[in-house]
Amino acid sequence: MIKMMVALQRQSHLTRPEFLAYWSDVHAPLVVELAQVLGIRRYVQCHPISGAEGDRFGGVRDCDGIAEVWFRSVEPEHIRRDDPAYLAAARRLRTDENNFMDRARSIVWWGAERTII
């Protein structure tokens, strides 16, 4: 499995609760809707732990959330990057991300999953 991990930073006009609500309630259903055409196998949102538990583990001070987007391979065989349906879906997702995510301050990282336990 190939994963795209994103350390998300919220748009400056949003509070963290507003960011998390939009990410969960608006963006996540859009990802579900577009997953097949984009080749997404799994989508996981990791929300920060606040309060004593968050402090116990060092808290989340550097980002507002982590997204894990799983793909079967870097270039799935059934996905054509020049396909109009793919391009339209990617554009819709990116446009929505601009509503809540500060792309310039967010970090995107790609890796191959290697399960240890």
C-alpha–C-alpha distance, residues 37 and 92, integer Å: 12
DSSP 18: H
Q: Give the residues across from 110 on adjacent strands.
A: 4
Listing DSSP states for 49-64 in one string gives P-HHHHHHTT---S-S
Residue 70: per-residue pLDDT: 94
In a domain, 108, yes or no: yes
Residue 27: per-residue pLDDT: 98
Q: Give the residues across from 111 on adjacent strands.
A: 3
User: Which residue's entry shows tokens 């999953």?
Assistant: 113
Residue 78: per-residue pLDDT: 62
Residue 73: per-residue pLDDT: 74
- For the domain that residue 68 is a member of, what is the CATH number? 3.30.70.100
Express each pLDDT in 67-114 by its tens digit. Answer: 999 988 766 556 677 889 999 999 999 999 999 999 999 999 999 988
In terms of residue numbers, what domain contains 19?
2-112
In a domain, 57, yes or no: yes
Residue 92: per-residue pLDDT: 97
Say yes or no to pLDDT of 60 above 60: no
3-state secondary structure of 33: helix
| Predicted model pTM | 0.85
User: What is the number of domains present in the chain?
Assistant: 1
CA proximity to 49, closest of 40, 41, 60? 60
Q: Which helix (H) or strand (E) holds 21?
A: helix 16-22
In a domain, 117, yes or no: no
User: Chain-wide mean pLDDT for the chain?
Assistant: 88
